[in-house]
Chains A and B, each alone.
Chain A
Amino acid sequence: MTTNIVLEEAKVVPGREEPGETRTRRAFLVAAGAAGLCYTAALGYPIYRYLASPAEMASSATAITEVTLKDAQKLPAGSVLMFKFGTAPAMMIHHQDGSWVALSAVCTHLGCTVQYEPQANRIHCACHGGVYDPRTGANVSGPPPKPLKLFKVAVGDTGVEVSRA
């Protein structure tokens, strides 16, 4: 059966055709290809934008530079408050000595949400055992390659303002 295919291909060898026919065929193929591209773009663009909508909305959320946490100044010493900075989880710790620290709660290893452990005085990631310092965010042990990002904290009378450092 392969021979059949070869025979059919032989029919379209340009040398056997009139030169004008080759030119009109080429023109037709170019026009058809261009039309096909136009259709692909006209159908593909709306579909792409439609599917990308949540990503676009999230990117405007991640552009946020500060978050005000109402009444967070009442957070007791030695406890933690989880909140969202844009779309990503973050944590604010009120240490026993009265100092405030806010940092990203996304483990720099593989993106799990980390946990503050006051008794052990550490931030721990349960996924692969990463450990961070709860004051500086520095990666202390385990697989994390980088420290947790620190935010600036301003404690007011009605709330706490957390902003990008």
Chain B
Amino acid sequence: MTTKSLTNSVYGWVDERLGLSELAAFARHKTVPAHAQSFWYYWGGISLFLFIVQCFTGILLLVYYRPGADAYESVRQITFVMHFGWLIRSAHSWSANLMLFAIFVHMFSVFFMKAYRKPREFGWLSGMALLALATVFGFSGYLLPMDELSYFATKVGLQIPAAVPLIGPAIASMLRGGPDVSEFTVQRFFALHVVVLPAVFLPLLGFHLWLVQRHGNAVPPSEETKPANERKSIPFMPGFLRKDLAMWLISLNILALLASVFPWTLGKQADSLTPAPLGIHPEWYFMSPFEMLKILGNWLPGEAGEIAGLLLFTIGIVLWVLIPFYDVKNDGGRRARAAHYFGLVAVILLLATTAIGYWTIR
């Protein structure tokens, strides 16, 4: 038996049982539209790559991390005692931030290409859920080193659910595991971060990716108006896949550069008796809501401002999430333009409040 015939017979045996050739045929026939906005198609893949990096570096950190009262000491060990521990921790933190950035780019490109329209509503909804989970990943992971910054960030962050009328304080106290941020908080945030969130995130991610395969890439409205024979597409295998992997490689290089040149720092151990350090501020992906609440609080002082802020947020997010259900027409009518302006206002509001936030903490 030659090697080739042996390979073929092994392939035949596996194929008969798993249907590999159907998958291969699917991959061969899959195409990706090619047009001026094709660049934005890569951002979902980049988000996925950075999530994979999170899984790997997270598992490595799990090897030495100890939740509970020992949390700070174990992160200090990882950062200063274990070989290359600083690099792995730095990569995990940087990759988390880059992943959220990539998800935001992905979301806005989907929004402006109107890729949430029929039949892709579930793709949009699952994507929004994944983004929400990613921010909870970020928030819960931020506390785990239990240094000064993470301690106060968690204290302040949990004031937001606490502001919800009636049930708010109970929710906040349930999340904290007591009236104040303590080792119990670290322990339950740890369980959330490494067990609960992945268990919810992974199947949802699988669903999201399956939908992409089922419906293929959406084309922007400007392409849709072209006659079918003028639209171009490239085969997924190997052309698009090669470019996709090149993007992954570029992402890996940028991540390696950032993680090693700007290593993530570890502050002083959290101490409830030490006053909050000057210039303390939320992570950039929470800066915008933080700043909006602050501005609203200046307008409407007291509880009224808090409730008005939360109400406004809730309405804005609900409108954003439900966009596939009221921006449905395929022509560029008035509603389509309104949705477009809604997106622009959202982007400008996010950028402006983030900028103001960073400006005022200096």
Cβ A2 vs Cβ B83 within 8 A: no
Interface centre among A50, A51, A53 (most CB of B within 10 A): A50
Interface residues of B, CB < 8 Å — how many? 17
Q: Is A5 an interface residue (CB 8 A)?
A: yes
CB 8 Å contact bits of B6-17 with A (1 = contact, 0 = none): 001001100100
Which residues of chain A are near B167, meaning CB under 8 Å?
none
A56 interface neighbour in B15, B83, B85, Cβ under 8 Å: B83
Q: Which of B33-91 contact A (CB under 8 A)?
A: 60, 63, 81-85, 87-88
Given contacts A1-B21, A4-B21, A9-B4, contact A49 B12 (CB under 8 A): no
Cβ A2 vs Cβ B84 within 8 A: no
Cβ B11 vs Cβ A53 within 8 A: no
Which residues of chain A are near B63, meaning CB under 8 Å?
50-51
Interface residues of A, CB < 8 Å — how many? 16
Which residues of chain B are near A1, meaning CB under 8 Å?
15, 21
A46 interface neighbour in B11, B15, B21, B84, Cβ under 8 Å: B84
Cβ A5 vs Cβ B82 within 8 A: no
Cβ B83 vs Cβ A46 within 8 A: yes
Report the minimal beta-carbon distance from B28 to chain A, rounded to whole angstroms: 9
Whose C-beta in chain B lies nearest to the C-beta of A45? B84
B87 interface neighbour in A4, A5, A6, A46, Cβ under 8 Å: A46
Interface centre among B8, B83, B87, B88 (most CB of A within 10 A): B83
Given contacts A5-B11, A6-B8, contact A47 B81 (CB under 8 A): no
CB 8 Å contact bits of A35-49 with B (1 = contact, 0 = none): 000010010001101
Which residues of chain B are near A53, meaning CB under 8 Å?
81-83, 85
Q: A2-B12, A4-B21 are in contact. List 10 more A-B contacts (CB 8 A).
A: A1-B15, A1-B21, A2-B8, A2-B11, A5-B11, A9-B4, A50-B63, A50-B83, A51-B63, A53-B81
7 A-B pairs (CB sep. < 8 Å): A2-B12, A2-B15, A6-B8, A39-B252, A46-B84, A51-B63, A53-B83
Chain B interface (Cβ within 8 Å of chain A)? Answer: 4, 8, 11-12, 15, 21, 60, 63, 81-85, 87-88, 252, 256
Chain A interface (Cβ within 8 Å of chain B)? Answer: 1-2, 4-6, 9, 39, 42, 46-47, 49-53, 56
